[in-house]
Amino acid sequence: MSATLLLAHGDDGFGIGQAVAELASSLGDPERTDLAPERSPDEPILERAALEAASIGLFGPHLVVLHHPLRAAGRSSAAAERLLVLVRELPEGAALALAEARPSRDVAKPPPLLRRLEDAVRARGGRVAAFPAPRRGELTAWTLRHAQRLGIRIETHAAALLAERVGGAAWETDIERGEQTRVIDSELRKLATYAGERPVSAGDVELLTADTRPASVFAITNAIDRREPAAAANALRRAIDEGQPVLRIMASLHGRISDLIVTRDLAARGATPAELARAIGRGNARAAERLVEAARRYRPEELEAMLGGLFEADLAIKANDIEPEAAVTAWLGEHVLGRRRTAHG
């Protein structure tokens, strides 16, 4: 009798959870122990996982699920080796699932330990499964497929609207997508109950599904680039409501306005595309072009006033003269919402 071993990783928390549930089902839904590190590193939780996995009862194994194994290993080489030993020395007949849900911003940069863990799992005959959350434009198709798996009929336009309401159309790279599929699953079940025998319509989605698009600091700066005050205000409100640190928002705004000032100055001096890319596009020619387009939507004095306003708001916050949220909201009102949109060559 061999050991049962699964490593499920990615930023799709729902997909990872489904994989663990399917493993449990394949084992006859045995007793299950879920463990998660309380600190990083957390060698005691790794030791407990090994002990629990080795406890095979009269009626077969009980499933041990270790969540965030990379956090349990942390930056400790000893804890990392302990994690690998947990896999390599998993007793015959034991059942272990490693559920590594990672932030969307990090999922494309897997740490070396994840690759070593994958190799160790495969060497023991275990299964390695990656669960990336659907990216921009992919969530509608995922919604339609998942509805079919659930036996729920939904109109294509309704699926697109549902995907949009949970952030499927957002393209900013700083948003977290890990819960989008879980929200879609929950909303589909609710909508199907409401619709009854008929297909779920777009009207049902509009009536029953709240707009839960994730916040993005990039969405604020992108709206500034496009000179779209209403979009910037909406993105700012969403970011604040979701708990994004105001000082981080202000730092991003400061960096973007500074880039626009430098860009406009270089473009006015006749800088070549290559020079612009090196100076403000970080080597990316298309990014430099976008910044040039954005800078031309503002007069030099407007950009200077925007940067000065951010500096004053930062000083007021640090002097405890104003709350951070009020400061950034006032800055937006004065320097973005309060200015007429014009294009400037």
- pLDDT tens, position by position, 158-182: 999 999 888 877 766 667 787 889 9
Residues 69 and 177 in one domain: no
Residues 43 and 158 in one domain: no
Residues 329 and 251 in one domain: yes
Among candidate residues 71, 96, 130, the one where a domain is terminated: 130
Give me the residue label for tokens 């590190």: 37
The confidence score (pLDDT) of residue 174 equals: 63
Does residue 31 fall inside a structural domain?
A: yes
pLDDT of 88-136, one tens digit each?
A: 999 888 899 999 999 887 877 889 999 999 999 999 999 999 999 898 8
Residues 41 and 78 in one domain: yes
The confidence score (pLDDT) of residue 60 equals: 62
Residues 87 and 157 in one domain: no
SS3 category, 127: strand
> How many Å apart are CA 52 and CA 64, to the nearest integer?
7
Q: Who wins on pLDDT, 336 or 174? A: 336
Considering 9-18, 56-65, 253-262, the range whose residues carry the highest mean pLDDT is 9-18
Share of the chain above pLDDT 70, in %: 93
> How many Å apart are CA 281 and CA 328, to the nearest integer?
26
Residues 16 and 117 in one domain: yes
Instruction: Judge contact between 221 and 256, C-beta under 8 A.
Output: yes
Does residue 343 fall inside a structural domain?
A: no
Among candidate residues 110, 130, 150, the one where a domain is terminated: 130
Q: How confident is the model at residue 140 (pLDDT cuts 50, 70, 90)?
A: very high
Give me the residue label for tokens 């077969």: 60
Residues 185 and 281 in one domain: no
The confidence score (pLDDT) of residue 281 equals: 58
Alpha carbon 215 to chain centroid, angstroms: 10
Instruction: Judge contact between 3 and 92, C-beta under 8 A.
Output: yes
Of 7-11, 90-94, 249-253, 274-278, give the lowest mean pLDDT range: 274-278
Residue 286 has pLDDT above 90, yes or no: no
> How many Å apart are CA 335 and CA 254, to the nearest integer?
13
- How many other CB atoms are found less than 10 A from the CB of residue 280? 23
Q: Who wins on pLDDT, 57 or 253? A: 253
> How many Å apart are CA 183 and CA 282, to the nearest integer?
36
Q: How confident is the model at residue 343 (pLDDT cuts 50, 70, 90)?
A: very low
Residue 46 has pLDDT above 90, yes or no: yes
The confidence score (pLDDT) of residue 252 equals: 83
Share of the chain above pLDDT 90, in %: 51
Residues 192 and 226 in one domain: no
Instruction: Judge contact between 98 and 66, C-beta under 8 A.
Output: yes
Residues 279 and 172 in one domain: no
> How many Å apart are CA 168 and CA 181, to the nearest integer?
10
Which two three-digit tokens encode residue 330? 């006032």
Burial of 276 (0-12, 13-18, 19+ CB in 10 A): buried
SS3 category, 200: strand
The confidence score (pLDDT) of residue 339 equals: 59
Could you give the number of structural domains in the chain?
A: 3
The confidence score (pLDDT) of residue 172 equals: 66
Residues 32 and 145 in one domain: no
Burial of 81 (0-12, 13-18, 19+ CB in 10 A): middle
CATH of residue 187: 1.10.8
Q: Which among 226, 117, 235 is positioned nearest to 175, based on CA atoms? A: 235
Distances (CA, A) of 282 to 228, 250, 303: 25, 21, 21
Of 23-27, 31-35, 57-61, 197-201, give the lowest mean pLDDT range: 57-61
Write out the residue range of the structural domain in which residue 247 sits: 217-337
Distances (CA, A) of 254 to 3, 98, 247, 308: 54, 41, 10, 9
Residues 183 and 263 in one domain: no
Residues 242 and 124 in one domain: no
The confidence score (pLDDT) of residue 342 equals: 46
Does residue 289 fall inside a structural domain?
A: yes
pTM of the model: 0.65
Among candidate residues 88, 105, 130, the one where a domain is terminated: 130
> How many Å apart are CA 333 and CA 319, to the nearest integer?
21
Does residue 291 fall inside a structural domain?
A: yes
